[in-house]
Structure formats: C-alpha cells, structure tokens
Structure 1
C-alpha cells in the first residue's frame, strides 16, 4: 500500500522542478527559489511517505511473525499435553510420585527451610 504523501510529494517535487526551470529561463530569481523550495518540500513529503510505508511493512512483518510464533507455541503446548497425558495413563504411580516431589519442592521454595 502506497502512502498518499509519496504521491503528493512526488507531484509537488515535479511541480517545483518545473517552476524552478521556468524561473531560471525567465531570469526570475524569486520564481526559481520558490520552485526549489516546493521541490524540497515535495522531496521531504515523499521521504516521509516512504518512512511510513517502511514502518507499516515492518509492523505487518512483526504481526506475521507473532502470529506464527503463537501458532507454533499452541501446537507445542497441545503436543506436550498429549505426551504428559499419555505418560500419566501409562505409569500413574510414577506420575504421582513426580507430582508429589514437585509439590514438596515448591513448598520448600515458597516457605523456605525453617
């Protein structure tokens, strides 16, 4: 998507060049300077539009990466849940012992050793 500042800036830049050329040919210093000023304004406007386009593209790319990371994370979480469920179903006693050990370790961390 092209920013409108790029289009209007390019038009202003071309108009300024033309005005400066007319002023130069006619020997009208004021028209030439005004044309150069318009040309510079147009170039600045075009650059601002390019910067906005670049930022918009970078934001779109960042969003795409974030969506991809979210989908990969969701898939990994589902796969992990399936693996844990399968392991608990196959060996419930070991899973219970592991859960108890983790709970005991968390209690020590929270309450500290006394």
Structure 2
C-alpha cells in the first residue's frame, strides 16, 4: 500500500463521516464537503492502486516502465478532472435545489422519528 492509497482511503472515510454528520444536523455545508471528500478520496485511492499495480509491473517488466508511467499520468489526469467535475456538479446540485434537500432532510427526520418512536397500536 502506498501513500496515495492510504491518504485516499482516509479522506474517503472522513468524507463519509462528514456527510453523515451533515445529514444528522441538516447542514448542507457538511453534506457537500463530505461528498467532495468522498469523491476526492476515492480518486486518490484509485490512483494509488493504479500506481501500485504499475510499480509491480515495472518490477516485472522494466522495458515497459516508461510507457506505463505515461499511461498512468494520462489516466490520473482524466480521473482527477472527472472527479473535480463530479464534485462541482454535486455542490451545484445542493446549492441549486435547497428546497429538495430540505424536503429530503425533513423526510429523513420523520422516518428516523417514526423508527425510534413508532406507533404502538394496541
């Protein structure tokens, strides 16, 4: 496991926690930050996995090292651009539809209250 895999996994986990906290306290900022960190952490972890695979391949076949490095760099750039775009889309969606998020939060709160307290018809 290399540094990118580790840091990406940690960032993804932190993002999950941030999103959960945001859902619980109904904070859009926490929700958005959580989603962005999940996406970025997943990308970084994926990049680290690709790096590990390429490094293993380099050890096994030195003559392919330069070609593999070029492909990894190009792929990582495309993945990073896609993740950045996905994060922006997530942020824009939350900002553009606050009523929808408010309704979703209210429904979630109602469902949680119903599960906790429930109706006990006798």
TM range (shorter): 0.5 to 0.7
- SS of 2:15's partner is helix
CA distance in 2 between counterparts of 1:36 and 1:17 reads 7
| 1:76-87 equivalent positions in 2, closer than 5 A | none
CA distance in 2 between counterparts of 1:21 and 1:40 reads 15
TM-score by length of 1: 0.53
- Aligned counterpart, 1:91: none
| 1:29-48 equivalent positions in 2, closer than 5 A | 29-48=28-47
Consecutive aligned runs of 4 or more in structure 1 exceeding 3 Å deviation:
none
Deviation at 1:22, TM superposition (A): 0.2
- Aligned counterpart, 1:6: 5
- Alignment RMSD, CA only? 0.8
Query: What number of residue pairs does the alignment pair up?
Result: 62
CA distance in 2 between counterparts of 1:31 and 1:21 reads 8
Runs (5+) with no aligned partner, structure 1: 64-114
Residue by residue over 1:65-107, the C-alpha shift from the partner in whole angstroms, topping out at 9 and shown as x without a partner, is xxxxxxxxxxxxxxxxxxxxxxxxxxxxxxxxxxxxxxxxxxx
- Aligned counterpart, 1:58: 57
Runs (5+) with no aligned partner, structure 2: 63-122
Deviation at 1:30, TM superposition (A): 1.5
Q: Which has the larger radius of gyration?
A: 1
Residue by residue over 1:6-51, the C-alpha shift from the partner in whole angstroms, topping out at 9 and shown as x without a partner, is 0010000000000000001101111101111011110000001001
Deviation at 1:3, TM superposition (A): 1.2
